[in-house]
Amino acid sequence: MLSYYLVAQRSSESKSAPKATGGLWLVVSGALQMVSTTAFILAVKATAVANVVAIIAALPIVAALVAWLLLGERTDRKTWFGIVGVMLGVAIIVSGSLAGSGIAGDLLALVAITAFALNLSLWRKFPGMNRVLVIALGGVITAVAASTQAQITGHSATTYLLLVLMGLLLGPVGRVWLATSTKYLTAAEVGLFAPIETVAASLWAWLAFSEVPSMATVTGGSVIIAVVVLTTLVGSRSST
């Protein structure tokens, strides 16, 4: 938490962000981060991973709807084509592996993507919000909320090292970049990149643990990456 605070204090926007967002919206954004992160983790524990992956694939649609309702932000045709293509890739990945049980986990996954979509719209509405500060605040709120259930002691040194690596470096950096991207992309476009996390996880598991992905995962992942790249390239050309 101290590291989060020091980084936030050094940011050039840290003083202007509360004023630009009314202060309260920083807390709301942090709370939404806590809800989305916690719900996602609980969903993975409560239902099949394939179910969670399939539901997360709907994030760009939910983000587009939320942004339209709250901000009046319309999603263009090429992004909708991208959304359909990504969902096709995810359908290939999870084909034949969806579980018929675990409704509680499925609902938690829906809560996770809804909270995340709301945050995307919030970041779009307040482009001047300090991204470092709001991610730091979200981390603090999540830590406080999880502290009552967390088993802090009794883990190996490797586990603590990985927790520090993820909690103080990989997680915050990824979230700050993601939040910053909403300054330049619509909520639906940012949500379009979410399924790539699933593809990347399979790749890292293959490289680090020799877990060879199935042909469905390779095929679906290739479709997702190709669709996102093509959608991005089309968008960049149309903006020039």
Per-residue model confidence as pLDDT tens digits over 100-140: 667 888 889 899 999 999 999 999 999 889 999 999 999 99
Query: Tokens 């149309």 correspond to what residue?
Result: 238
DSSP 8-state code for residue 175:
H
Banded pLDDT at 21 (limits 50, 70, 90) = low
Does the pTM exceed 0.85?
Answer: no
Instruction: Please report how many Cα atoms fall inside a 13 Å half-sphere around the Cα of residue 119, on the Cβ side.
Output: 31
pLDDT in tens, 41-62: 898 888 777 778 778 878 888 9
**Residue 222 phi, psi (nearest 5):** -65, -40
Q: Which helix (H) or strand (E) holds 73?
A: none
